[in-house]
Amino acid sequence: MTKTKVLEFDAAGIAAAASILQGGGRVAFATETVFGLGADARNGAAVASIFEAKDRPAFNPLIVHLAQAAEARKYATWSDQAETLARAFWPGPLTMVLPLRAGHGLSDLVTAGLPSVGLRVPAHPAAQALLRAFSGPVAAPSANPSGKISPTSAAHVLAGLDGRIEAVLDGGNCAVGVESTIIGFGSDGAPVLLRAGGVAREEIEAALGAPLLDRTAAQAGAITAPGQMQSHYAPALPVRLGADAPREGELMLGFGAVAGDLTLSARGDLREAAANLFAHLHALDAMAKARDPAPTGIAVAPVPMQGLGAAINDRLARAAAPRG
Ligand code: AMP
Ligand code: MG
């Protein structure tokens, strides 16, 4: 149980909230859409602790919140269309999914191992003040337990997460109350509506001077960018779960007492394991490519189902599922 501080939206409260983020803690804060549950997007354990607090049974990618549009170029490959949308709708309830840039420094858990990142510059004064004081990228899904209604006040946040997060910044209510609109881009740059939300489709189409494709149309058509519209990452090698030891030719992903070529957490810590999950899967794939003879698969040690273990096992099960 963590003691959840309620911080006032004033200079002292903002400074305290920023220092909690700097220390790897979680702070819920108002945005114009709903309250977000924020943590340093570069800190894998901090990002893992967001999933832990929400009891999220799966790792889906989190939106990275930035103080201003200029920072987006540090993390994503920018384009003319991204510039147009940023000028028209940032700060505001629009998220853009863009290709990750080399040297981005974000945790793999934020992108769920995908080669893309969702970025947004929120307009709410509390979000703006916190992002400026922290002066770094903040990963934030909605500040509610998984499966519950998104919070639009500090009281809603406390009703769901009191004792599970370090602080809530009491910055007043959220004006929009629905999630941000999410736009992605195909390999030919075609803009795709990934999720409807706070900015209307028509407004975005007017700004771009082009129609938005729907996700299903984009997936069916040739414009799908490998990796960009992909809903989850899976390693190239077959994955075998619940293994106590590797079979001949297999690479091993360890956990706890079961050591591997790489180990999620030797001390059996689920937060550390979550933070390492995607990086280790990518690294095992890379290791496999470099080996002769090529390994036949990845054996994965059992990971307990409690807490973050549910989300870790969910992702491992998807990685192990037969490929179409
Ligand atoms: P939320 O539940 O508001 O935190 O929104 C997260 C959603 O944003 C995810 O479920 C995805 O649909 C989308 N998203 C965020 N980051 C990415 C990404 N890197 N690639 C694709 N979709 C993303
Ligand atoms: Mg949510």
Query: Tens digits of per-residue pLDDT, 230-263?
Result: 567 788 899 999 999 999 999 999 999 999 999 9
- Kind of pairing, strands 27-29 and 116-120? unpaired
Q: What pTM did the predictor assign?
A: 0.90
pLDDT > 70? residue 306: yes
Judge if the beta carbon of residue 110 lies within 6 A of ligand 1: no
* C-alpha 144 to ligand 2 mean position (Å): 7
* C-alpha 35 to ligand 2 mean position (Å): 10
Domains in the chain, CATH or no CATH each: 5-87+98-178 (3.90.870.10), 239-320 (no CATH)
* C-alpha 6 to ligand 1 mean position (Å): 28
Q: Pseudo-torsion of CA 26, 29, 33, 34, nearest 10°?
A: 70
Please check whether residue 198 is in contact with residue 122, taking contact to mean a CB–CB distance below 8 angstroms: no
3-state secondary structure 15-67: HHHHHHHHCCCCEEECCCCCCEEEEECCCHHHHHHHHHHHCCCCCCCCEEECC
User: Whose CA is closest to atom 2 on ligand 1?
Assistant: 141
User: Whose CA is closest to atom 6 on ligand 1?
Assistant: 62
Q: Give 100-137 pLDDT, tens digit per residue.
A: 999 999 999 999 999 999 999 999 999 999 999 999 99
- Report the chain's C-alpha Rg in angstroms: 20
Q: Which residues contact 242 (CB under 8 A, 6 or more apart)?
A: 300, 301, 302
Please check whether residue 120 is in contact with residue 63, taking contact to mean a CB–CB distance below 8 angstroms: yes
Residue 264: half-sphere exposure toward Cβ, Cα within 13 Å: 29
Q: How confident is the model at residue 224 (pLDDT cuts 50, 70, 90)?
A: very low
Judge if the beta carbon of residue 108 lies within 6 A of ligand 1: no
Q: Give 130-178 pLDDT, tens digit per residue.
A: 999 999 999 999 999 999 988 999 999 999 999 999 999 998 888 887 8
- Kind of pairing, strands 116-120 and 5-8? unpaired
Residue 186 vs residues 192, 196, 211: alpha-carbon distances, Å: 7, 17, 13
In one-letter notation, the amino acid at residue 274 is A
Query: DSSP string of 105-168?
Result: ---HHHHTT-SEEEEE----HHHHHHHHHHTS-EE--BSS-TTSPPPSSHHHHHHHHTTTSSEE
The mean predicted confidence, pLDDT, of the chain is: 92
Residue 274, phi then psi, degrees to nearest 5: -65, -45
pLDDT > 50? residue 276: yes
